[in-house]
Structure 1
């Protein structure tokens, strides 16, 4: 751990900007995609490499030095803008930027086992026309991920974060807000009570349900749309509350650190329970009655609390109730290392269902999960990020709900 701490300290200065994400199956070689190589949004990569922004050139590129310090490796890699869409292929052509030329799965960035790993790309800021280089840390286990998120806040699958130096604003809060979508609350839309006391996760999710009722959508699409909506609501309230403190300044460094820690802890708390609370709301909308068809956060055995039990705690504790009519569902935004935590939950139920938003796992890790009795439940929209041989064995949220409905009480 001391290596990571030293690395974070070395590359967090004003001369560096971090691009942070969790590697997806399309980034690594997990799903055997021809697109293998980390995705970086165009605007972000254009900022690091301005000469890449040449729309009149087909697939312009820039070569630069990249050092994977977590797994000592140095490569000359290619930042490329695949812009076929602008050059005679408007319907099926690509229009995205990626980093490529890592030499196959010998690189930690392409290793299928790195799928889901929290990864920091620390780009330096040299004087033009010098080309930046990049130092990378691919988190090797959950403890390293926790250490990183303690500094920058949670980074969820399918999302990414830029982390500028402190001078750029407290944890990025001074960055301009996104172009308002319907879920970003204007100042006059934020309840007075929320300004006095930051709303709970349940409060924000209730508002997200109001703004994204989406009754016509299946549970999988509903879940993903509401998660995005909830995050916008959270960030709009966070900015309204925290921005005045930031603009007023801080009398001491300790005051600044205390405020920053409050923001980080609130973000981590929100991330930790968000998916679970959204799932509960969808169960209820799908006419599953809490206490009759499912139990939320029950105690299955002393000291053990699975996220959801089906059909009820009473049925679970009734030894005459057939075990094959019981189900449990664990909910974890990422599952790369955390899936093992659910194995000792609900002892009567050998098959553990796990709902995750992680965009892919390696085939070997999937085999390990299957051998341990874990059944992955994945929203339909991200199934394609998993290896082709894994996809048929995944269950969608809609399918899981359908199975639960068929269980006799």
Structure 2
């Protein structure tokens, strides 16, 4: 067993290994008390690793194998199981059809520990010519630095998504989640300018809005649907641009590495900016005027730039404007370790709102966030992945927008709305 992550990745990145990489959700760990008893791994992937599991004629077929969590020394024999009740019994339509790995012994395991909800995790399965792989080695990232090291090698991994690495191994596992959706652009649909220069994030967001108008939907549903659409557009453009280079081959290792680095950096940039750009687009559609009712990437204090200020950067810098009428929204796809980064972004605003797509947090971490003045904004479709005790304290994107619309009204201490806001109070352009 390697002593650190770099050694571990080098040790288990050989040709006889395939990685399944994901972020642990509240349903994987024991954070939301769902009693799923182990991390979810897609059925098609596990069938590729363990063909013996693919037995629809048997009820809940399973197989046992050795697994070591090397980041938190823990080795045990665990169980891969296909819960296929849907195909058996009188209540088949209501039954389960999913695969999980179980047998970790409760919260003492790093894979079930509620504090690891959101942690980037690598499962390195052995696939070298064995009918039944003898083992699996796992690394649960312990901090943001370790997550960065993994993503430097495999690319960004967002909540609710997963990937197989190396990509060549993916051909062995025909996963249904990679099937194209209606947002996938065929070659003839990709603008020629995009082929000459990869589109900026804002360009892709505009294309998403064309293909998924969705303004009839609540902001929460709109955000999640558009994120899916945007990912498909990005991947289709990436394939159209990069696949010809890959098929043409490379004459030097350096040329190959340079191309690969370009792809990974582009994916990281997209992952880092996507949620923020979607939020801005939805704010505009909901009738909030940029510069008057919200400011995007303003400077609150020298050297500090929160993602969004409400009602405006001008109001924030006006010492006579009441702090109780100010809001700050930070945007981070994951928040397990990164929520602390927002604590000093706007000194006048004691409560820091944070929009995230992370699928759950532990009760202890949520209490720590709350005590530090952080309030989570979570799309309605993801709130069920949080502990029931936490859910009432979460704010949906729709309710947050309703809150900041109220900043157009006279403040609770009688201070009138800022002059720049009075001119647009009540307007909802584009709604």
TM-score grouping bracket, smaller chain normalisation: over 0.9
- Kindly report structure 1 stretches of 4+ aligned residues shifted beyond 6 Å: 174-177
Contact 1:65 1:134 in 2 (8 A): yes
User: Partners in 2 of 1:220 and 1:33 — Cα distance?
Assistant: 23
Query: 1:93 pairs with 95, 104, 112, which one?
Result: 95
In the TM superposition, residue 176 of structure 1 has moved relative to its aligned partner by 11
User: Partners in 1 of 2:344 and 2:334 — Cα distance?
Assistant: 18
**Equivalent in the alignment of 2:152:** 150
In the TM superposition, residue 132 of structure 1 has moved relative to its aligned partner by 3.6
Go from structure 1 to structure 2 and tell me whether the alpha carbon gap of 1:345 and 1:150 turns closer, same or farther (over 3 Å shift). Answer: same
> Does 1:393 pair with 2:393?
yes
Cα deviation, 1:253-288, whole Å, max 9, x if unaligned, reads 111110000000000000000000000000000000
**Equivalent in the alignment of 1:382:** 382
**Equivalent in the alignment of 1:4:** 5
**Partner SS, residue 348 of structure 1:** coil
Contact 2:18 2:125 in 1 (8 A): yes
**Partner SS, residue 92 of structure 2:** coil
User: Partners in 1 of 2:314 and 2:176 — Cα distance?
Assistant: 51
In the TM superposition, residue 215 of structure 1 has moved relative to its aligned partner by 1.5
The unaligned stretches of length 5 or more in structure 1 are none
In the TM superposition, residue 35 of structure 1 has moved relative to its aligned partner by 1.0
Contact 1:126 1:132 in 2 (8 A): no
Matches within 5 A, 1:326-337: 326-337=326-337
User: Partners in 1 of 2:180 and 2:389 — Cα distance?
Assistant: 40
User: Partners in 2 of 1:92 and 1:404 — Cα distance?
Assistant: 41
Contact 2:18 2:169 in 1 (8 A): no
What TM-score does the superposition give when structure 1 sets the normalisation length?
0.96
**Partner SS, residue 99 of structure 1:** strand
**Equivalent in the alignment of 1:63:** 64
Contact 2:17 2:128 in 1 (8 A): no
Cα deviation, 1:81-131, whole Å, max 9, x if unaligned, reads 011111122232111000111000000000000000000000011434333
Go from structure 1 to structure 2 and tell me whether the alpha carbon gap of 1:161 and 1:209 turns closer, same or farther (over 3 Å shift). Answer: same
> Does 1:280 pair with 2:276?
no
User: Partners in 2 of 1:363 and 1:249 — Cα distance?
Assistant: 50
**Partner SS, residue 209 of structure 1:** helix
The unaligned stretches of length 5 or more in structure 2 are 410-416, 418-431
**Equivalent in the alignment of 2:412:** none
The total of aligned residue pairs comes to 406
**Equivalent in the alignment of 2:289:** 289
Contact 1:80 1:98 in 2 (8 A): yes
**Equivalent in the alignment of 1:237:** 237
In the TM superposition, residue 182 of structure 1 has moved relative to its aligned partner by 1.2
**Equivalent in the alignment of 1:363:** 363
What is the root-mean-square deviation of aligned Cα atoms in Å? Answer: 1.8
Go from structure 1 to structure 2 and tell me whether the alpha carbon gap of 1:77 and 1:252 turns closer, same or farther (over 3 Å shift). Answer: same
User: Partners in 1 of 2:185 and 2:366 — Cα distance?
Assistant: 40
User: Partners in 2 of 1:72 and 1:234 — Cα distance?
Assistant: 38
In the TM superposition, residue 2 of structure 1 has moved relative to its aligned partner by 7.2
What TM-score does the superposition give when structure 2 sets the normalisation length?
0.92
In the TM superposition, residue 177 of structure 1 has moved relative to its aligned partner by 10
**Partner SS, residue 309 of structure 1:** strand
**Equivalent in the alignment of 1:39:** 40
In the TM superposition, residue 315 of structure 1 has moved relative to its aligned partner by 0.6
Cα deviation, 1:333-389, whole Å, max 9, x if unaligned, reads 000000000000110000000000000000000000000000000000010000110
User: Partners in 1 of 2:366 and 2:102 — Cα distance?
Assistant: 26
Contact 2:44 2:175 in 1 (8 A): no
In the TM superposition, residue 175 of structure 1 has moved relative to its aligned partner by 10
Contact 2:107 2:113 in 1 (8 A): yes
